[in-house]
Amino acid sequence: SAAAAVWWWPFGPAHAMAVAVSVLIVTCPCALSLATPAAMLAGAGALARGGVLVRKLQALESCAGIDTVVFDKTGTLTEDRMDVIMAHTPVGVNRDEACDMAGALARHSLHPVSRAIAARFPAPGWVASEVEEVAGRGLRGKVARLDGSGQQYLWLGSASFCGAPVPGRGAPLLQAHLSDGEHYLAGFELDEAIRPDAARAAVPLAQAKADFIMTGNRLLTVPALLVQARRTRTIVRQNLLWAAIYNAACVPLAIVGHLPIWLAGIGMAASSLLVVANSARLARLAPEQ
C-alpha cells in the first residue's frame, strides 16, 4: 500500500491515500488466514460429536491420505475366543432342547464359533454322530439323546448352509443358526470377549500421544474419520483457491485506483464470510454408507 501511495502521490495526496487504504484493506489476509483453521476446526468439531476426539489438527490433514487401515483387535482389545451373547428360538420350539442339540453338534468342531456354542451349552445328555464339517459354512450330523431317542439330522452354521428360512432380526457381529433342513430351530448371536484390562487401554493410549481417540465402540467411526478428513482437505483447498482468486482479482483493481474504499471493505468481509460459510459445511458428518 505504501508503494501505491508513492506512485499516486503526484496525482494528488487525497487520491493517493484512498488508493493506499483500498490496497491495505484488500490485501488484509483474513480469508487466506481463515481458510485452513476454519475448515479444520469445523471438521474436528463434527468428529468430536460423532465420537472421535482429534488431538492434533495437523493429523486430520495427514489422515486424508490414508488408503489402508489395519486392525489388531483380537488379542489386543479382545480375547482369542467368542461368547454366545443371545440364543433365540421360534415359537413352538423347546429352547433348552434346541440349544443342547446345537451344543452336542458343536463339540465336534474346533472352529471358534463352535467352541463358543459348545462351551455355553455343554449338553451332557446328548450325543452327535456322523458329523461332517463344511469349511466356512458349518456342521451337519445326527444328534440324539444318550438313550438313542429324539434322533434328528441337523445343520448348524450360516443361514444359507442351514437351508431353512431365518427370521428377520438385527445385524449383530456374527450369527449361527440351527435347523433340521426344513425348519428353523434356533439362532445364536456371538461376539468376541472383551479383555478385562481393555478398559485401561485409555491410559497408555494417552501416554502414546495418539492423534485420534475413539470414544465409542463402533468401528464405523473409522471410515467416518477418513471421509471427514478427505472432506476437510477438499474444503481447505476450496477456501485457499477462493482466497487466491479474490486477491488476484481485487489487488490489481485497488492498485490502479478502480476499487473504492467502501467496496474494498465489502469485498474483504464477503470473502471472509464465504470462507467461514464454506467451512461450516463440515459441521455435520457425511451420512454413513
pLDDT digits (tens, 9 = 90+) for 22-63: 776 777 666 777 888 888 899 888 888 888 888 888 888 888
Report d(CA 175, CA 184) in Å as an integer. 14
Please check whether residue 288 lies inside any domain of the structure: no
How far apart (Å, rounded) are the C-alpha atoms in residues 105 and 99?
A: 10
Q: Are 177 and 19 in contact (CB under 8 A)?
A: no
Is the pLDDT confidence value at 206 over 60?
no
In the listed set 138, 171, 194, which residue is the last one of a domain according to the structure?
194
Are 23 and 53 within one domain?
Answer: yes
State the pLDDT at residue 203. Answer: 58
Residue 255 forms part of a structural domain: yes
Distance CA 190, CA 206 (A): 31
Question: Using CA atoms, how far apart are residues 178 and 120, in angstroms rounded to an integer?
Answer: 15
Instruction: Please identify which of the residues 72, 80, 191, 197 carries the catalytic annotation.
Output: 72
The answer to the question of residue 87 being in a domain is: yes
**pLDDT value at residue 154:** 92
Looking at the fold, whether 248 and 169 belong to one and the same domain comes out as no
Burial of 46 (0-12, 13-18, 19+ CB in 10 A): buried
CA triplet 224, 225, 230: central angle to 5 degrees? 100
pLDDT value of position 271:
83
Q: What is the pLDDT of residue 289?
A: 42
pLDDT of residue 191: 77
Residue 197 annotated to the active site? no
Examine the pLDDT at 79 and tell me if it is beyond 50.
Answer: yes
Q: Is the pLDDT of residue 223 over 70?
A: yes
pLDDT of residue 200: 58
Q: Report the pLDDT value the prediction gives residue 272, as an integer from 0 to 100.
A: 83
CATH number at residue 100: 3.40.1110.10
> Quick check: helix, strand or coil at residue 175?
strand
- 180 and 232 co-located in one domain: no
Asked which of 194, 225, 260 is the last residue of a domain, the reply is 194
Q: With H, G, I as helix, E, B as strand and everything else as coil, classify residue 118.
A: helix
In total, how many domains does the chain have? Answer: 2
Grid coordinates representing 120 are: 455355553
Mean pLDDT of 51-79: 75
Q: Are residues 68 and 143 in the same domain?
A: no
Cell numbers of 124, please?
Answer: 451332557
For residues 171 and 211, membership in a common domain is answered with no
CB 43 within 8 A of CB 228: yes
According to DSSP, the residues that pair with 190 across neighbouring strands are 84, 174
pLDDT of amino acid 121:
92
162 with 221, same domain? no
Instruction: Tell whether 48 is covered by a domain.
Output: yes
C-alpha to C-alpha distance for 262 and 248, rounded to whole angstroms:
19
C-alpha count within 13 angstroms, C-beta hemisphere, residue 282: 32
Q: Are residues 152 and 212 in the same domain?
A: no
Whether residue 26 is found in the same domain as residue 82:
no
At residue 160, does pLDDT exceed 50? yes
Are residues 54 and 129 located together in one domain of the fold? no
Given 136, 160, 194, the domain boundary residue is 194
**What are the φ and ψ backbone dihedral angles of 271, each rounded to 5 degrees?**
-65, -45
Name beta bridge partners: 186: 178
Tell me the pLDDT tens digit for each residue of 129-159. 999 998 888 999 999 998 888 889 999 988 8
User: Domain check: are 187 and 222 in the same one?
Assistant: no
Q: What's the pLDDT tens digit per position in 258-282?
A: 667 777 777 778 888 888 899 898 8
289 inside domain: no
Distance, in Å, from the CA atom of 278 to the CA atom of 262, rounded to the nearest integer, reads 24
Domain that holds residue 255: 2-72+201-283
